[in-house]
Structures are given as C-alpha cells and as structure tokens.
Structure 1
Amino acid sequence: MTGQVAAVSRNEVYSFSKPNRDSIRLLTGLGVEGDVHAGETIRHQFRMTYEPDLPNLRQVHLMHEELFGELALKGFKVSAGQLGENITTRDVDLLGLPAGALLHLGEQAVLEVTGLRNPCAKINDFRKGLLAEVFTMDSVTGEFTFKSGVMAVVRHGGIVRPDDAIQVETPPFPHRSLERV
C-alpha cells in the first residue's frame, strides 16, 4: 500500500488543534520534535495524572484526510491539524492496519502503529456533535468504532513534509487488530 502525507502539524502547548507546518522532525523513541506530546513516557494531559511512568504509545497521531470529506457530508467543516493530529495522510487505510504495521514516510522516517486514537469529549467543544461521528457504538453488538485516526511511535527519525510518500509494511501473520491506546 502506498499513500501520501497530506499535511504535518505540531504544537508546543496543550491545545486541541495543531497548526500546520512546512515540515516536522520525528525523533526516534520520542515523537515530533517540539510537540507537547513527544516523550518516552505518557504525555497525554489527563493520563499523565494517573499513569505518568507508562511508555508513550501515542508519540505521533495520524489521521486520514478522507475522514474530513466524510464529516463534510454531515455538515462538519474540519481540516488538517484541527483534530490534533501530527500527520494527515491520503490514500492509506489507517484504520484497517494491523498493530505493529510500519509506515515509511519520506526518505528516512519510520513509524510503528500502536493503536487507535480514543477520541475525547473535547471534540464536542471544537464542533458540537462531532464526537458522535468519530466514535460510535453498534447497538446490536456493543462494538465501538473509532474513526479519529491511529497512534504510533517513532522507530526511525527523520523529516516529514506534505507530499512525502508513505509506504506501508505489515507485520508477519497472524495480524493483531488495532485497539485503542
């Protein structure tokens, strides 16, 4: 599977959205240089209060650009970086990837997909009613559907820019489905 980087974003402070940048630098084992969520241990503002020493499996947040089109059909105008993602992708089935999939971005960077982003209620502060569109529960099976992207850790650092290619490398079988992290 081959895709493309649509946009890159980072923010030095805790904020729901992240401004788009011309490029970001991924740091091995840490995340996006200069981003508030970079670090070896959990940097998620709420989870740091009760799990501060756990490994940071959410170093980089990726979201598929195709979600924005789906949301637009339901009346929600959303663009790259506004939902807090660091890398917005195009033509990559992020939600269909297995745990441990490697994403080769640009010339050097490699990310390992760790799980699904668990959307928080702050999404409704950004756009009222948006949470129901990115986080749903099947009334029959009780299964949750998370549409707000995936989380990853940096296995090999490098610069990532819009229009960089993304090559997907899946792990050996059996594949493990993504769970929320």
Structure 2
Amino acid sequence: MRTESTGYIVAVCLRRGHHFSKTPSLSIRLLAGLGVEGDGHMGALVQHRYDRRRDPARPNLRQVHLIPCELFDELRAEGFTIQPGDLGENVTTSGIELAALPTGTRLHLGMHAIIELTGLREPCVLMDRFQQGLKAATQDRDADGNVICKAGVMAVVVADGEVAAGDAIEVELPAGARQPLAPV
C-alpha cells in the first residue's frame, strides 16, 4: 500500500571510488539491483571495504545510503560543520523519520525510482576522523540502554530512475509483520 507523499529529497550525492564523503550532484541515476550509477558502493555484491574482506560473495544491502537533513540540523546545533554528502550519503531527505520505518519499507523517489530499506548505518570510526566526536553524536540510547544508530539508513534499488533535489518521496510500508531496522 502506497501512502501519500510524506517527504522530499534535499540533495543527492555520489563519488567514484571508496571515500568517506560524497559530492553533491544535480541528479543521480539509481539502477535496480546495483545502486547509484557511478558511485563507489554500486554493485550487486558487497562493496563496503570492511565487509568485502570478510565475505566478498555477500549481497550488497548498502547500495543506497539515506540520511535525514534533520540529523544535520541536530549535529550543527552541537557544533559540527555538516552538509549533504559529508557523511557519505547518496540521498538527503526531509520530512520522513527514516530510522522509524520497518525493514522492507519501499520509498518511491521521484517519478520512477524505488528503493527498499535493508537496515541502519552503524556509525564507524571514520566519522571521528572526519570530525572528532561525530561517531558519538550519531548514536544515542533508548530507555532500556540499547544503542540507537542515527547515521542514516541503507537500501537496495528495486526500480531504476533518475532522482534529484526537490523530488517527492512516497512511503510504502511492507505487508504483514513488521521488523524494525537493524544495523547492516
């Protein structure tokens, strides 16, 4: 079931090769089963350097990285200098609480692209190399003491499409029992 438009794309980014940050672009092309055309994390099999060393035959569940711009606002209030692409995301969103969506949620981006959420991005040591204290600032704890990852969500591409800043995002929740996102 598709819902009405609940958010929009603030920025899109990509970068060839494996780098922490990505470069803002006018648009990006999403390719089904692969990811962002021309991006260093594009591929059907795992592209994340650490994960690829452990099991290079594993499916790539991190084809597209999304971060809500509301996180940037929170980080700026804490004194960090952050803009779209800095944390390695491909799509910066607004108006959607990404981390609260269940695994398998489909996001319809722009006119044609569809992605499916696979999990949370776990903050890593590279964040502190980018700006000291950033890793801790992108983690929190719930009332039970469990770690909450706030560094965005990961997805796979289900349907091809060109997406750009200003495009609408529509949320399609999965049918049946819903599982919360977990780090991938």
TM tier relative to shorter chain: over 0.9
Give the letter for the 1:151 counterpart: M
Pairing partner for 1:42 from 41, 46, 60:
46
**Percent of aligned positions that are identical:** 47
Residue 27 (structure 1) aligned with residue 31 (structure 2): yes
Which residue in 2 is equivalent to 1:180? 183
Which residue in 2 is equivalent to 1:116? 120
For 2:33 and 2:17, how far apart are their aligned partners in 1?
20
Pairing partner for 1:127 from 128, 131, 134:
131
Which residue in 2 is equivalent to 1:152? 155
List per-residue Cα deviations over 1:1-45 (Å, max 9, x = no partner): 510000000000111100000000000000000001010110001
For 2:20 and 2:140, how far apart are their aligned partners in 1?
20
For 1:52 and 1:90, how far apart are their aligned partners in 2?
34
For 2:8 and 2:144, how far apart are their aligned partners in 1?
34
- Unpaired stretches in structure 2, ≥5 consecutive residues: none
List per-residue Cα deviations over 1:29-88 (Å, max 9, x = no partner): 000000010101100011111111000000000000000111111111111000000000
Pairing partner for 2:168 from 165, 169, 180:
165
Which residue in 1 is equivalent to 2:95? 91
Residue 15 (structure 1) aligned with residue 7 (structure 2): no
Q: Paired residues, what number?
A: 180
Deviation at 1:137, TM superposition (A): 4.2
Give the letter for the 1:163 counterpart: G
Deviation at 1:142, TM superposition (A): 3.6
Which residue in 2 is equivalent to 1:70? 74
Give the letter for the 2:171 counterpart: V
TM-score (norm 2): 0.95
TM-score (norm 1): 0.96
List per-residue Cα deviations over 1:102-143 (Å, max 9, x = no partner): 0000010000000000111100011101111102345x7341
SS at match of 1:155: strand
SS at match of 1:46: helix
SS at match of 1:175: coil
For 1:64 and 1:116, how far apart are their aligned partners in 2?
12
For 2:118 and 2:87, how far apart are their aligned partners in 1?
19
Which residue in 2 is equivalent to 1:107? 111
